[in-house]
Chains A and B, each alone.
Chain A
């Protein structure tokens, strides 16, 4: 357990409004990830970070941005929320990232976002 928390846990917002989701970890893991989970698609990677201020895009990054100013915090921002971004968002953290096939990811409890 990497002590991963996400906030808020639930959010309802309107189309066109900006939204920021926060992920916080307490174990000093270098790598952090944002996934979204939708019925029929499983979890898909949005963005990831391999260090402070080092981020890159994942499979479904359009409409999302991220920032990581501290090791422990990874923020996901929807600049202008759309109904297609209604989903459950999971944050994860990992120690080793890409260098080891043995690396374990630890997931947060998720944020359920509804865009009306």
Chain B
């Protein structure tokens, strides 16, 4: 699986938008971009995924660069509950189907 690069940490103020970047310059044409997050003392949870077009769901938006070498997870209004580690993961249906987690970005939200 191709590698992703994310900042170690980011800070945000409550009720402000948050843009979490991810670089994946070696992405292949069939890799989907997935985002998961892990709240403190919980298991990871799925946030969103996309291939080429920008995607929206009730949790977040995913903006994908035209060349697909980077993407941005957008939380439109951060809440205290959004404080978590966010993981950007590429999935191309590898041999085992498991997720390969990097270190992710630790998001802190200030009231």
Q: Give chain A's interface residues, CB within 8 Å of chain B.
A: 4, 31, 33, 35, 42-45, 48, 50, 56, 58, 90, 92, 94, 96-110
Contact = CB atoms under 8 A, between A and B. Distances in A.
Contact of B97 (A4, A48, A106): A48
Contacts of A96: 97
B44 A103 contact: no
Contacts of A104: 34, 46, 49
Chain B contact residues, majority secondary structure: loop
Given A45-B98, A58-B96, A102 B44 contact: no
Given A33-B98, A99-B93, 5 more contacts: A4-B43, A42-B104, A97-B97, A103-B91, A108-B43
The size class of the interface chain B forms with chain A is 20 to 34
A44 B103 CA distance: 11
A96 to B, nearest CB: 8
Contacts, number: 70
A48 B93 contact: no
Interface string B21-45: 0000000001110101000011111
Given A102-B32, A102-B49, A109 B96 contact: no
Interface in B86-111: 87, 91-99, 101-104
B96 A90 contact: no
22 contacts: A4-B43, A31-B97, A35-B98, A43-B44, A44-B101, A45-B96, A45-B98, A48-B97, A48-B98, A56-B96, A90-B43, A92-B99, A96-B97, A100-B93, A101-B93, A103-B91, A104-B34, A104-B49, A105-B36, A107-B45, A108-B43, A110-B43
